[in-house]
């Protein structure tokens, strides 16, 4: 069965072009006009990903908010025109996972889709972070091949950028990481990423980790960046040494 991908766009040429490309790669692309279309597709089956054409005259931010606030784990990518910063900021606040500058390189979109779990073409890559099979710090563990996170034996999900940010922190625990370092590790297209974007995604990751662990694991170092310092109450005996599987 083909993985279902939805595109929100008012550009018929873009839809027809992406449908041709994605169908050749084993995906089923559906046109998503508004929030009602989204609700229908969610009833049909689990969406592999949603692609939003970031323009002022569509409902991209509403669709993104509907997914994220509704508790859906579906990854969301935004196609950003050169003058689309205002729309993209709305999408960041709504919880978008990836931003891709237009004109869009099809290989970039396929790379995004292949990184999502349970897809027809998923390959489990993590770019420069895919060294070994797991990252562990105290009772927090990441399976890089399956792209899953586990805390104290309990699995929980993260969006793609959040996953790569956490992997970067686990790779360098107790080390202060600059925003530039985090951008290079977590975003595949760094041209459209500003420091404020990093702060928003870090805040999102912080909230998720706090909800799971009950502790503040990521600390802000003013004017420098961020550091992962797992709470002392989460430690297991003999687990103070960072390990890579």
Question: Which tokens in the block code for residue 30?
Answer: 């559906």
Structural contact between residues 182 and 165, judged by C-beta atoms closer than 8 angstroms: yes
Asked if residue 142 and residue 184 are part of one domain, the reply reads yes
* Residue 132: pLDDT over 80: no
Asked, for residue 144, whether it belongs to a domain, the answer is yes
The CATH number given to whatever domain includes residue 107 is 3.40.50.2300
pLDDT digits (tens, 9 = 90+) for 138-152: 678 888 766 778 888
Residues 132 and 240 both lie in one domain: yes
Q: Which residue has the tokens 């890089």?
A: 144
Instruction: Verify that 54 and 143 share a domain, yes or no.
Output: no
Say if residues 127 and 64 touch (Cβ distance below 8 Å).
Answer: no
Question: Is 89 a residue whose pLDDT tops 50?
Answer: yes
Q: Which residues contact 172 (CB under 8 A, 6 or more apart)?
A: 228
Cα–Cα distance, 96 to 114 (Å, whole number)? 17
Same domain flag for 88 and 14: yes
Q: Is 86 part of a structural domain of the chain?
A: yes
For residue 121, is it within any domain?
no
**Residue 218 pLDDT exceeds 60:** yes
- Tell me which residue range forms the domain holding 229: 127-244
Alpha helix positions (H), the chain: 12-24, 35-44, 60-69, 85-94, 106-114, 160-171, 179-186, 195-213
Q: What is the CATH number of the domain that holds 187?
A: 1.10.10.10
Domain finish residue from 75, 91, 114: 114
Looking at the structure, do residues 81 and 60 belong to the same domain, yes or no? yes
- 225: Cα within 13 Å, side-chain hemisphere: 16
Q: Are residues 225 and 180 in the same domain?
A: yes
Domain assignment present for residue 122? The answer is: no
Tally of domains in the chain: 2
Pairwise CA distance, residues 172 & 218, whole Å: 12
Q: Are residues 166 and 210 in the same domain?
A: yes
Q: What pLDDT does residue 153 have?
A: 78
- pTM score, two decimals? 0.54
From the DSSP assignment, how many helices (H) and strands (E) are in the chain? Answer: 8, 13
């Amino acid at each position: 069965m083909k993985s279902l991908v939805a595109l929100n766009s008012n550009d018929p040429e873009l839809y027809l072009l992406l449908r041709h490309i994605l169908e050749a790669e084993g995906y089923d692309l559906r046109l998503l006009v508004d929030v009602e279309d989204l609700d229908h597709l969610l009833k049909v089956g689990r969406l592999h990903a949603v692609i939003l054409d970031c323009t002022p005259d569509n409902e991209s931010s509403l669709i993104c908010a509907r997914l994220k606030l509704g508790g859906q784990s579906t990854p969301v990518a935004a196609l950003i025109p050169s003058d689309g910063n205002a729309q993209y900021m709305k999408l960041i606040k709504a919880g978008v996972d990836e931003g891709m500058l237009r004109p869009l390189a099809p290989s970039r979109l396929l790379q995004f889709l292949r990184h999502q779990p349970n897809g027809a073409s998923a390959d489990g890559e993590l770019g420069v972070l895919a060294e070994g099979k797991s990252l562990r710090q105290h009772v927090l563990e990441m399976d890089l091949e399956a792209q899953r996170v586990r805390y104290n034996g309990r699995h929980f999900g993260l969006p793609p950028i959040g996953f790569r940010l956490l992997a970067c922190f686990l790779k360098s625990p107790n080390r202060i990481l600059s925003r530039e370092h985090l951008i290079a590790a977590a975003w595949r297209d760094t041209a459209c990423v500003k420091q404020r974007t990093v702060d928003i995604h870090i805040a999102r990751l912080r909230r998720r980790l706090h909800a799971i662990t009950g502790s503040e694991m990521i600390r802000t170092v003013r004017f420098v960046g961020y550091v992962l310092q797992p709470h002392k109450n989460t430690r297991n005996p003999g687990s103070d040494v960072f390990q890579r599987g």
